[in-house]
Structures are given as C-alpha cells and as structure tokens.
Chain A
Amino acid sequence: MMRFLLRRTVTMLLTLVAISALVFIIINLPPGNYVTNQIAEMRSSGEAAGIERAAALIREHSLDRPLWEQYLIWVGFAPGPNGFNGLLQGNLGWSFELGRPVAEVVGETAGLTVIVNLAALMFVYLVALPLGTIAAVRANTWIDYLASLVGYIGLATPNFLLALIMLFYGARHFDIPIGGLMAREYEGEPMSWGKFVSILTHLIVPTIVIGTSAAAAVMRRLRANLMDELNKPYVETAKAKGVPPVTRVVRYPLRMALNPFVADIGNLAPQLVSGSVMISVVMSLPTLGPILLQSLRSQDIFMSGFVLLFVSGLTLLGMLISDILLAVLDPRIRLAGREGA
C-alpha cells in the first residue's frame, strides 16, 4: 500500500511539472505581456520616466531571456537575477497589474476556491447517491423518469445559465442571498458567528449551481451500474432467502456499484473546477475565477500562470484522492491493475 501511494504521488508530481510547462507556454502564446504593453502605451504618450521603470521590471523578472530560461526561473529550477527564487522556493511571482505579489492576491481567495469546490463535491454525492439508487431500484416508474428528467436538464443547462436563472428567480421569490460572499455589513469585519452564517448562506446557490450537472452525470452512471448489479443471480438468491429489501440493495449490489462512483471523483474534479471558475465570474464570488479572467485579459502572465497551475493542481489532487480511495475500497484493482501490468 505504501509503495502504491508513493508511486501515485510521484506520478502526480511529474504530471504537475509537465502541466506547469504547458501552462507557461499557453500564457506566453499571445505576443507581449502586461509590461511590454505598458511600455508601448507609454511610448506613444511620451512618458520617458515610466519606460525606465518598466524596463527595470522586465530585467528584474527576467522577461528579456529566452522562453525556456524564463520557465526554469519561474519554477525555480534555474537562478534568476536574485538567485533561485521561483515557485519551488515559495515565490509565486509578481502581479504587474495589481503591483502586489501573487501570493498576497491568491492567498485571500485560494482557500475559498477549495472550499467551494469541496462543498460542490459533497453536494454531488449527497444528491446523486440517494437519487441514483432510488432511480435504479424503482426503474421505469415516475420517480425514475422524474430523476432522469432532472438529470437531463441538469446536463444540458450550462451552469452559468443556471446561476443566472437562480439569481433572477431566487432573489425575487425566495429570500436566498445571491452574489458576493457575504452580506455587505460583514465585509472587512473580523470573523464572527453572524459572518460565518452569512458566508454559509451565500455559498448555497453556488454549490448547487456548480454541482448540478456533475450530480446528473454521476446519478445516471450509478443508476446504470446498480441496475446491472440488481439483475445478477446473487440478488435473486438474497431475495429467495428472505433478506429485507433495503439490506438486499445496500449490502452488496450498492457496494459493487459504488466503485465506478468513487473513481468518478477523478473525472469530476476538472469539471467542478471549471464550473467554479465560471460561476464565480457570474456571481461575483471572490474566488480565483474572476482573477484568472482579469489577468488573462491584461496578460498579467505570472498571475494567470499561477492560477492556472493552482486549479490544475486541484484537479490532480482530486484524481489522486480518487485513486487512493479506490485502492482502499477495492483490493482487486490494486492486485490486477498495478502489479500485473
């Protein structure tokens, strides 16, 4: 088990390195960056002093080096002007647009991003597990059809539209607070019970919105898996021996059907993270989403690069967790998959 864990973690770290290279290439695809754009602007307006300062910025962040050197310096594999000072050394870079270190900007919001995603994941499972089970056990009844209908609509509605609809009707007909992270009066206040409750109630709608489409997908898969299991002879045997209905479903078939369910966390992670980026923009939640959008627009490369890397890391973590859970839950996978191949 320890060896398996170690192996998965090492693979994940290697993947993360590959992703960091990919991300760095992507953010450098558009010609120029925030600083060079500033310089071009100042040149046209004839501000000599600003140009000097911007040129210093370029030198300090070694933006004048070739791309591969910039990458190595950014990650911390190679020494920059100030020695080894990259992501590995804990320096997340400098946001040119905001004039603050990236760590400072991200620190306020990264935690919330993780919380929102975790809440959405919990929501997915809390909704999909019972609904999928009921839909499978009562297959082809109105409950099943209702669940399928809700599932299909959840799949087909882009989550930002769901957010808009909820904003539109939620604020009008129900007294659910929407938009922002907390009520106005708590902003800038120290943490208190009232503020905590306010944050919680503000997280309800984003959680539902982010989780719905994923929940729909998971529910459909669980239903299909469970229905396959329910047709197997051992269920028949249990029925013949007089095992009560609930135990009959929960004890073995559900457990069998749960494996792909757990494996899904890995597939869900990218989807949820994508969703949370989108929703945060629509609902003006102070997570990484709006920051990413803004930094991409202004070519604030270190900012957008780190945010992209962070959300990718988040999905990798989700996949790692799902792998570990799967190995714990199902010994067959470890034996057959890893050792044999």
Chain B
Amino acid sequence: MDHYVAPDRSHDAEADRQALDRADLDAPTRVLVWRRFRRHRLGVVCLIILALGYALLPFVEVLAPYNPNDFDEDNIYAPPQALYLFHEGAFVGLHTYATATVYDMDTGLVKRVTDTTRPLPVPVLTVCGETYHLFGFIEGRFRILCPPEEGELFLFGSDRLGRDMFSRMIHGARLSMTVGLIGVAVSFAIGLILGGLAGYFGGWCDSIVSRAIEIFRSLPELPIWLALSAAVPVNWGPVSVFVMISVILGLLDWPGLARAVRSKFLALREEDYVRAAELMGARPSRIIWRHMMPNFMSHLIASASLSIPAMILGETALSFLGLGLRPPAVSWGMMLNDALNLSAVEIYPWLLAPMAPVIFAVLAFSFVGDALRDALDPYS
C-alpha cells in the first residue's frame, strides 16, 4: 500500500518512532538527569564556576599577591588601586600608580593622592613577597600577581591593619567555601541515620525521632548557633574552631532532611522488591543500603545542595558577630566584622567588598541546587 505522506517510502514511521524512544528509554538515569540538567543554562554555568573555584582553593597562596596576615602600618585603609595597560596613550604593560598619604591643611583630613605621572610596573608570574607553605609543606614565593617593586598593590584596598583586602578575600574563600560542605556532610549523616531509623523501624523509634524533628525544627537557628559557638573553648586552635563551627552549622539543619528520608522510607518499605528481599533473608542494613538508598539518594543530594547557601550565610553571620572563626583564620565573615563599625564603612566603603563573593557563592549554589532538583524531579 502506498504511503500518502511520503509516497517514495523515504519516511519509515515505524523506525522513526522506535529509534528515538528506545535511545531515551535505554539511557541510564544519570544520562537522563544530565540531559535535563543541561537545559538550565544558568545552573550549568554556575556549576562550572563553582567547580573551578573549588579546584583552585588549594592554590590560593599562589593566586593572592600577599599573604593574608601581612600587615603594613604605612598603608592603613588604603583605597583600591586600579590596574592599567596604557600610560599616557602608550602601551607599557601591566602597571599601577603609587598613592601617597597627604594631610590636607584646610580640612584637616587625611587624603590619599594618586601620583599618575610615574607608572609602577606590576610583575606577573614571578617570585616575590613573604614565603608561603603550599599544602602546608611546600615552601614557595611564586605568585601570579606581585606588588610593584617600590609600592603596593591593593586591588580592593586595605583594612585597618593595612592588610590587602584582595588577598584576604582569596584566602578567605578557602574557609568560607568549605564550611558549607562540612556542615552539609554533618547534617546529611544525622538526617540519614535518624530518618532511616524512624522510617525503617517505625513504632516508638519513629515517634521519638519525629518529636525530635519537631523540636529542632522550631528552634530559631541564629540564636542557637550563637549560643553553641559561644561554647567553643577559647584556647582552641583555628582549625579545630573551624571544624567545630561547621559541625554546629550542620547540627540544626538535619530535621528537614530526616523528614524527607523518613517519608521516603515509609513509602518504599511497602514496595514489592523490599518485601522480596526481606523474605529472602536480607539483613536490614543490606535492604537499606542496596535496595532503598539508591532510590532516593539523588533527591537527598539535591536538597542538601540547597542548604549549603544557608550554611555559608550562617558562617558569615557568626563570624560577623565575632562568635565564629577566630584570627589568624581568614573568612569573608571575619573580614566583614570590620564593617560592623559604621563610621568606618562610611569613610572606607571598600570594607564591604567581601560581600560580593558571599552573595555570588550563595546565588551560584542556589541556581545549581534548583537546576539539580528540577532535573531529578520525575514529574517535570
């Protein structure tokens, strides 16, 4: 019989239908998820940027022109300097201009005057400054960007001790970006265990966990965080304080996750394949890890990624109030602690610069998390 649409038989309805559908049906879940994830352009871009950022975290010493705690009493509250390529119309390479502190006799104010007559070349990819310890044991002085020979390089200005804001922001990324990961790991572990116990065993176990969830959910986060971090002993080193603060941030976050795990368990327990595994004599741990977990793990990861921003903001808030990380550790929140002094902010607005990476990191995590959740949602 002749085909009415394509009489020359170039169109094979049967093959067309099968080819496309089969490819989709046979594709493993991760391919399907990745395909849907890719549709969120913003999510993909943010994911790439975040991945790059995390990949660079071990090498912050090389990226920053100064060490985070190098101070310079001659350049307190130096304003941001710009980088130039052209001096009076001629190309002279990367350079900046020196600034000098001038006392204005008329107004009685200290002013910073930029001397634009003499370009100061900024060395790139050379050895300079104080020695740093890469990964804690490799000594080095190689940096991507170095301050000029006779002068300073404060791209985002300097703070009340004359420390370079730009370098401190780069170094601060290390703690500020990892605090969320540790916190989420903690909350993930607690949520998974408690939610799993409640959902799988039910009964009194379930009611105890459910009550605990109710109680923890109704606690106002910040005041409790404050109280807990006030309890961190004063004599602890910066690293232990950092770990402790991350754990504290995770301690209040688990109820949402535990609830999700519990409801998933309750639903999956009724499934036939779980019953079958039980009848074949599989132990609870095997049923949980091999049969039930793979079914909802991806969803948990998506929702956990959405709580990372809250932790980054939490760390910022705690350090900002002076109860979070402690010097000599550097984080964005601690840098903003200087901005608590309003009169300083008014005169030296660049103290607010660490705000930008905080907002950016939070937005990026939110976008990635949203995209991930959409991609994993079977009903979209």
Contact = CB atoms under 8 A, between A and B. Distances in A.
Interface of A: 15, 18-19, 22-23, 26-27, 29-31, 152-153, 155-158, 160-161, 164-165, 167-168, 172, 179, 269-271, 273-275, 277-278, 281-282, 292-293, 296-297, 299, 304, 307-308, 311-312, 314-316, 319
Given A26-B227, A26-B231, A156 B220 contact: no
Contact of B223 (A168, A179, A273): A273
B218 A19 contact: yes
Contacts of B309: 155-156
Contact of B230 (A275, A277, A296, A311): A296
Given A18-B215, A155-B362, A293-B321, A277 B222 contact: yes
A319 B221 CA distance: 15
Contacts of A269: 218, 220
Contact of B219 (A153, A158, A161, A270): A270
A315 B231 contact: no
Given A296-B227, A312-B218, 12 more contacts: A27-B227, A156-B363, A156-B366, A158-B320, A164-B345, A167-B342, A168-B346, A273-B220, A274-B220, A277-B226, A293-B321, A311-B223
Contact of A30 (B230, B313, B320, B339): B230
Nearest to A314: B220
Contact of A270 (B218, B321, B352, B366): B218
B316 interface: yes
A158 B358 contact: yes
B224 A161 contact: no
A19 B219 contact: yes
Contacts of B224: 26, 308
Contacts of A164: 339, 342, 345, 352
Contacts of A297: 230, 323
B317 interface: yes
A270 B215 contact: no
B221 A274 contact: yes
Nearest to B362: A156
Contacts of B320: 158, 160
Interface residues of B, number: 38
Contacts of A179: 342
Interface in B330-345: 336, 339-340, 342, 345
B359 A156 contact: yes
Nearest to B367: A152
Contacts of A277: 220, 222-223, 226
A274 B227 CA distance: 12
B293 interface: no
Interface string B261-302: 000000000000000000000000000000000000000000
Q: Majority SS of interface residues in chain B?
A: helix
A281 B321 contact: yes
A100 to B, nearest CB: 21
9 contacts: A22-B219, A26-B231, A156-B359, A157-B359, A270-B219, A270-B221, A274-B223, A275-B222, A308-B224
A29 B225 CA distance: 13
Contacts of A157: 355, 359
A49 B111 CA distance: 54
B231 A168 contact: no
Interface in B192-232: 211, 214-215, 217-224, 226-228, 230-231
A158 B313 contact: yes
A83 B342 CA distance: 48
Given A29-B228, A282-B340, A296-B226, A315 B345 contact: no
B233 A296 contact: no
A300 B246 CA distance: 25
A247 to B, nearest CB: 30
B197 to A, nearest CB: 19
Contacts of B237: none
B53 interface: no
B238 interface: no
Closest 9 pairs (CB-CB, A-B): A274-B222, A29-B231, A156-B362, A296-B230, A273-B220, A270-B220, A30-B231, A156-B363, A274-B220
